[in-house]
Amino acid sequence: MPQNAPRISADTPFKKPGSASGRTLRVGLLFGVASVYLCLAGIVESWSRRWVLADVIALGQVVLIVVGVAAGYVAVIRPEPRGGLALLRGIIAGVLAAACTAALLLLGAAINIRAMFINASPTLYAILTGGHDLAPGTAGLLIVGAVCGAGGAVLALLRPRVRSIVLRGLAAVVVLSIFQDLLQVMLQGSGPAAVVRNMLFSVDGPSISGAALVCVGTWAAGAASTYWGPRWRARASAGGAADRRLGGGALTIAIGIAILLVLPVAGGPFVAQVMVLVGLYILMGLGLNLEVGFAGLLDLGFVAFFAIGAYAMALLTSLGEVGIAHWSFWAAMPVAIAVSLVAGILFGIPVLRVRGDYLAIATLGLGEIVRLLVLSDALRPWLGGSFGVLAIPKPRLDGWELSGPKQIYYLTLVASALVAYVAWRLQDSRLGRAWMAIREDEDVAQALGIDLVSTKLLAYGLGGAMGGMGGAIFAVLVGSVFPHSFSLLISINVLVLIILGGLGSLWGVVVGALVLVGLPELLREFGEYRFLVYGIVLVVMMLVRPEGLVPASALQRELHSEEAPGGTRIEVGPVPAGPEGGD
């Protein structure tokens, strides 16, 4: 195939052989298109309401600056970052990227493009020109582009270790800005908390001194760990490393549990609410992970189980019209789980013989059928149709009502811990290994004596039960269920989070849920672009890092078998944004 087709190589555009100037041009224009996209999609404007440095620079501008710096960096880093010419190339790339934005500015000034692009607003133009008139504003934009490109080139010229420290410090400032609301809430009150708060924040947002403090602090920590880290590690491995690691592990887990326990108390009801959602998505993620990650059965109709669990709980406990039993939460929970388990098996039967891509589409169809049936008038007498099921009572525990998100948070925590334990025990069990065999090769698995039918049905059943448990808690959290809460988007949401975390990886589910559910709920500005970002995450992860942020060990070995065995542990960090394709 590709060897006969030299005209179009299968590589990313950056790897094409070509002159450095051609590359600079391409990179500059590509990043220019990216920044125009950010402007027109409304990201720049809507993120400009969050200060990174109070009254100086906002997140929307930072995003554009990052694009400019990245243009300079990418233009210089290959083929070889060297010499004064590199600086020039970086500047050219940065100016080109800014020129694309400037072109948008001039076009917007000449004709009204707002009839088409709703975000091409005067506010956007004001952000781009920095509030100046068109001519000086455009010139300023180009100068900023040049500075950004030069900055990117300098970054590329730095030694990798130094570069990583510099970037971490700057990233810490952005993180401070992103979490400012949360931090402000957590640092409420007087005493030392107030001192820290006043040091970091002014009225509008992070103060310059606070940001500088955070940045320099991160730099110092980074430098210290680079300098002393290897020595510590060497000393640790010299004397009883295994003991120490075990002790350290237990300590980490204890701290983690303590944080989880006090989080809703410290962060307030809003944080508790967000954490409940994260917990529900962890439940669903663990369930879908059984199907997709362990058994390799791509299921795009997973929301059906969530819906079935929620409806089972709702119908059994509701005090409203369609409620049938008025049971208590605790009595209804096992039934809801059992119903979802059976539903999972029934769901699995028709699609047993369908494989691969067809399976994805078939499950998608099944999920949609469930939603449409619940929504229809035909089943309204039993399921409430589009009016949903109302008046679901909160669970009671020994006379104490789990009324708010804070209390339900603990319920969710216990439930997800339980399910995570089950999933962890399943992973290396006979059943878990059978699933993985099926994932790798169905025919070989069958030849080895694995009963495909029961193994696959168990994956659907157990996965469905976990999703159903999430649905049941969701029902009591909200107090009512409506068919509109169970759209395909939830299935996609769950799929994206397990892919981001790493297919087949249990910690991956947790990390994925925190990043993809927790963050957008905490950040209004981000929440608006959530599905846009999901799409990008899916594509970029598959291209750059198909094993996920916290890869499952087996998958990690498979995808990187050519690399050094027993290599370094993968850090949980931002997705590497480099252009290097997955190869």
- Site of interaction with another protein (CB under 8 A): 1-2, 4-5, 7-8, 10-12, 37, 40-43, 116-119, 296, 298, 300, 349-358, 360-362, 364-366, 368-369, 372-373, 375-378, 380, 453, 488, 492, 495-496, 499, 529, 531-532, 534-539, 542-543, 546, 581-582
Q: How far is the CB of 554 from another protein (least distance, A)?
A: 14
Structure tokens at 385: 């149709």
* E strands present in 279-321: none
Q: Which two tokens stand for residue 180?
A: 């400012």
Helix (H, G, I), strand (E, B) or coil at 335: helix
Q: Which of 24, 6, 164, 175 is nearest to 93 (CA)?
A: 24
CB of 59 to another protein, least distance (A): 16
How far CA 154 is from CA of 91, 149, 223, 384, in Å, comes to 10, 9, 19, 63
Q: Please tell me whether residue 397 adopts helix, strand or coil conformation.
A: strand
Q: How far is the CB of 119 from another protein (least distance, A)?
A: 7
CB of 43 to another protein, least distance (A): 8
Residue number, 278 or 555, with CB nearest to another protein = 555
**Cis omega (within 30 of 0) on the bond before 79?**
yes
Which C-beta is closer to another protein: that of 51 or that of 534?
A: 534
Q: Shortest distance, CB of residue 409 to another protein, whole angstroms?
A: 29
Distance, in Å, from the CA atom of 456 to the CA atom of 270, rounded to the nearest integer, reads: 39
Give the nearest distance from C-beta 287 to another protein in angstroms.
Answer: 18
| Chain-centre distance for alpha carbon 322 | 37
Tell me the H-state helices in 41-133: 43-47, 59-77, 83-110, 122-129
Q: Which helix (H) or strand (E) holds 35?
A: helix 20-40
Please identify, using beta-carbon distances, which residue of 38 and 434 lies nearer to another protein: 38
Output 393 or 546, the one with its CB closest to another protein. Answer: 546
> Is the Cβ–Cβ distance between 263 and 406 less than 8 Å?
no
The candidate with the shortest Cα–Cα distance to 325, out of 403, 389, 405, is 389
C-alpha distance from residue 169 to each of 17, 69, 223 (Å): 35, 15, 11
479 vs 546 by CB, closer to another protein: 546
For another protein, the closer CB: 85 or 369? 369
Write the CB contacts of 177 (distance below 8 Å, at least 6 apart in sequence).
50, 51, 52, 59, 205, 206, 211
Residue 405 tokens, joined: 């998100």
Q: Which is nearer to another protein, 46 or 407 (CB)?
A: 46
Give min distance, CB of 80 to another protein, in A.
Answer: 24
CB of 359 to another protein, least distance (A): 8
Q: Which is nearer to another protein, 44 or 513 (by Cβ)? A: 44
